[in-house]
Chains A and B, each alone.
Chain A
Amino acid sequence: MTTAPATRDQRRLSPAEASFAATWADRGPGNDGATALRARGFAAFEASGLPAGRREAWKYTSLRALARREFRPAGPVRAPRPEDLAALDIEGLDGLRAVFINGRLVPELSDLDGDDGLQIVPLSDALAERGHRALEIAGSIACVDTHPLAALNQAFVGDGVFIGVSPGAAPSRPLHLMFLSLDGGSPVAAHPRVVVDAAPESALVLIEHYTGRGEIRNLTNAVTELRLGHGAVVEHYRLQEEPATGFHIGGLHGWLERDARLISHNLHFGAALARLDVGVSLAEPGAEVVLNGLYLVDGKRHVDNHTRVDHLAPETRSDELYRGVVDDRGRAVFNGKAVVHPDAQKIEAHQSNRNLLLSREAEVDTKPELEIYADDVKCSHGATVGQLDRNALFYLLSRGISRKVARDMLTFAFAETVAVRIPLAAVRRRIEARIAGALPDARMIGHGVEDEA
């Protein structure tokens, strides 16, 4: 027996890492256009491993509980039951639908016949086609060297969809991607990827909706890459409602050309541990991103939002508003960074993160960061962590309203600031119903009924 010199290969792998490596070895890199992508993703993940607290970006979020689990490959573990599928519907939303179970597209349950100008293709098919745009975009926006979990996703790239919108096209219906996580004995790791190619002057409304059923212990590790050509407008929703036992990790990476506009709503209501990395590059003048975030964290759940906006060109704008409600022993992390690169003059970057703590054991770590290398810029940022306004609480109590209802009303009011920024009425109503909790007549509380679209 020979003893090889100690290399990183011999670093002890966690059960999770070992199970990823075994799955990857079984499956092999394949021989289609995605081969190089997978190999590169796997190499990057091998080099980094699951991130630990030594990394600044993972200081407050530990993946130890995740590392201890062994995961089996993506794919349905059982046939979905009607009640599983019912969880996917958003009342009042009339959209095209793509259903994924444990990461894998289920064509029988999907309705992908869009208008002219909208192309929805299983990602594996797109990547297998020589010269397909998907090959150009996938892996070019989400960086595997700085995002270990994006590297892991890329190592398994294949599940997910490619969405192409032709120049000038504006599909009449939103596209609803439904990711359903189902339990089936041992935990499943799903690594779906959504690749969006919004051609110049096109428009798209895209909803990524993550739910699950049962006491799942699955990992959803979902990466979305969006390329917006000049003048393209994408309204994007990421609605995360996974069961409180699952892991949800995700990345949203955008590249915006001249005058493109991305409006992204990142709404976290579930998962034992949720982490979302948003990275948007405003690459050409006139590009604009609006990031809207809301998280409700209760029980012993943990939600971490990391965002980074790179102003690479002059006259670009970013506007970020994240709010969170943290109750029980919940923990929330926010890190928002805006980087204004040299020569990116006349840009605007605004950022705000506010947190409402409802319990003494709840915890929030928030850090807005600005790095500015240009001089003619308009920037603002701020972060707060506070409790319910005592004056407002007393006002409601003094009207005979119970403490519980008063607390719920003020919590609603706090979160409603984000909800009102949601243009899609069906999604907004669902969010309002969630933030209204047990309040009666939830539909009446915020804007009443007068603004129904």
Chain B
Amino acid sequence: MLKVTNLHARVDDKAILTGLDLEIGAGEVHAIMGPNGSGKSTLANVLAGRDGYEVTEGTVEYDGQDLLALAPEERARRGVFLAFQYPVEIPGVNNAYLLKAALNAIRAHRGEPELDAFEFLALVKERMELMHMDESFLNRGVNEGFSGGEKKRNEILQMAILEPRLAVLDETDSGLDIDALKVVAAGVNSLRDPERAIVMVTHYQRLLDYIEPDYVHVLSGGRIVKTGDRTLALELEDRGYDWLREAASV
């Protein structure tokens, strides 16, 4: 589904990704771990198409297409979804309006009719229940005054409603209490699907107890320096990253 080859990217003239390779198939769940500042969010942003990131080398193929040639909204309509590490607050636009605008844009792209108000509300309410979110969140400004954990839950709610093909979750587990982590994990697990791929960026092995990944990658110094199964996460918990950094630099 996704094939990243020798990706180099820079921000403000600073090279951050330095030859990253990653391949993800439909139905798979991948975890990406790695030290602070190693480039995990950069990779997520490059995939989603944020401006300011300059790809200087390499390719990204998504469903056989050149992903990098597409505008961010085009990527989203084709099923790429980024759950942000720091979701933005947009006071003045309510959550329900954003969800409806996004869902209808994506449905229009798929050639599906717009949902009417009734169908939309039914869908949203069902998914909100799944995320243990109160309906009052619908009428509030997008992320406005949401607690850190509520923002993360709201990201997964959007994912549950938009039903992407490729979801990249950037530290969705950070800032969640134990109960919220279980709720979010259950939400993500319910979206596991043979047609859908999920990439989780995380610092904590605990998330992987709830959402079992097929692969674990270590991103360090702008590259994937090691790939393994979920036992790699346990090893990292034990040993940290230093041994890999040394391995990477030889």
The interface residues of chain B, by DSSP majority, are classed as helix
Which of B76, B82, B87, B94 meets A446, CB within 8 Å?
B94
**Inter-chain contacts of B51 with A (CB < 8 A):** 390, 394
Q: Assess whether A397 is in contact with B93, with CB atoms less than 8 Å apart.
A: no
**Inter-chain contacts of B138 with A (CB < 8 A):** 448
Could you say which interface size class chain A belongs to? Answer: 20 to 34
Judged by a CB distance under 8 angstroms, whether B199 is at the interface is no
Contact string, B63-76, partner A, CB cutoff 8 A, digits 1/0?
00000000111011
Which of A402, A403, A447 meets B139, CB within 8 Å?
A447
Which of A390, A399, A410 meets B102, CB within 8 Å?
A399
The chain B residue sitting closest to A390, CB to CB, is: B51
Q: Assess whether B93 is in contact with A450, with CB atoms less than 8 Å apart.
A: no
**Inter-chain contacts of B94 with A (CB < 8 A):** 444-448
Q: Assess whether A398 is in contact with B48, with CB atoms less than 8 Å apart.
A: yes
Q: Assess whether B87 is in contact with A397, with CB atoms less than 8 Å apart.
A: no
**Inter-chain contacts of A390 with B (CB < 8 A):** 51-52
Q: Assess whether A401 is in contact with B105, with CB atoms less than 8 Å apart.
A: yes
**Inter-chain contacts of B72 with A (CB < 8 A):** 394, 397-398
Q: Assess whether A448 is in contact with B96, with CB atoms less than 8 Å apart.
A: yes
CA of A401 to CA of B71, assembled, Å = 11
**Inter-chain contacts of A402 with B (CB < 8 A):** 73, 105
Q: Assess whether B102 is in contact with A441, with CB atoms less than 8 Å apart.
A: no
Q: What is the CB-to-nearest-CB distance from B19 to chain A, in angstroms, rounded to a whole number? A: 25
The chain A residue sitting closest to B89, CB to CB, is: A392
Q: Assess whether B71 is in contact with A445, with CB atoms less than 8 Å apart.
A: no
Q: Assess whether B106 is in contact with A413, with CB atoms less than 8 Å apart.
A: no
Q: What is the CB-to-nearest-CB distance from A368 to chain B, in angstroms, rounded to a whole number? A: 23
Q: Assess whether A399 is in contact with B88, with CB atoms less than 8 Å apart.
A: no
CA of A444 to CA of B92, assembled, Å = 11
Judged by a CB distance under 8 angstroms, whether B39 is at the interface is no
Could you say which interface size class chain B belongs to? Answer: 35 or more
**Inter-chain contacts of A385 with B (CB < 8 A):** none
The chain B residue sitting closest to A449, CB to CB, is: B139
Q: What is the CB-to-nearest-CB distance from A40 to chain B, in angstroms, rounded to a whole number? A: 47
Q: Assess whether A400 is in contact with B139, with CB atoms less than 8 Å apart.
A: no
CA of A392 to CA of B139, assembled, Å = 18
| A400-B97 contact in complex given A394-B50, A395-B87, C-beta closer than 8 Å | no
CA of A415 to CA of B92, assembled, Å = 8
List B residues 46-87 near A (Cβ within 8 Å): 48-52, 71-73, 75-77, 81-82, 84, 87
Q: Assess whether A400 is in contact with B71, with CB atoms less than 8 Å apart.
A: no
Judged by a CB distance under 8 angstroms, whether A3 is at the interface is no
Which of A392, A398, A445 meets B76, CB within 8 Å?
A398
**Inter-chain contacts of B48 with A (CB < 8 A):** 394, 398
Q: What is the CB-to-nearest-CB distance from A447 to chain B, in angstroms, rounded to a whole number? A: 7
CA of A444 to CA of B98, assembled, Å = 10
Q: What is the CB-to-nearest-CB distance from B102 to chain A, in angstroms, rounded to a whole number? A: 4
The chain A residue sitting closest to B76, CB to CB, is: A400
**Inter-chain contacts of A399 with B (CB < 8 A):** 76, 98, 101-102, 105, 158, 162
The chain A residue sitting closest to B102, CB to CB, is: A399
CA of A397 to CA of B48, assembled, Å = 9
CA of A390 to CA of B72, assembled, Å = 13
**Inter-chain contacts of B106 with A (CB < 8 A):** 400
Q: Assess whether B90 is in contact with A401, with CB atoms less than 8 Å apart.
A: no
**Inter-chain contacts of A448 with B (CB < 8 A):** 94, 96-97, 138-139
Judged by a CB distance under 8 angstroms, whether B37 is at the interface is no
List A residues 217-270 near B (Cβ within 8 Å): none
CA of A292 to CA of B4, assembled, Å = 52
Q: What is the CB-to-nearest-CB distance from A45 to chain B, in angstroms, rounded to a whole number? A: 43
Q: Assess whether A400 is in contact with B96, with CB atoms less than 8 Å apart.
A: no
Q: Assess whether B76 is in contact with A397, with CB atoms less than 8 Å apart.
A: yes
Q: Assess whether A444 is in contact with B90, with CB atoms less than 8 Å apart.
A: no
Q: Assess whether B102 is in contact with A401, with CB atoms less than 8 Å apart.
A: yes
**Inter-chain contacts of A405 with B (CB < 8 A):** 101, 105
Q: Assess whether A409 is in contact with B101, with CB atoms less than 8 Å apart.
A: yes
Q: Assess whether B93 is in contact with A445, with CB atoms less than 8 Å apart.
A: yes
Query: Could you list some 12 contacts between A and B, CB below 8 A?
Result: A391-B88, A400-B102, A400-B105, A401-B76, A401-B105, A403-B71, A403-B73, A405-B105, A409-B101, A416-B91, A417-B92, A448-B96
Contacts from A to B (Cβ < 8 Å): 389-392, 394-403, 405-406, 409-410, 412-417, 440-441, 444-448, 450
Contacts from B to A (Cβ < 8 Å): 48-52, 71-73, 75-77, 81-82, 84, 87-88, 90-94, 96-98, 100-102, 105-106, 109, 138-139, 141, 158, 162
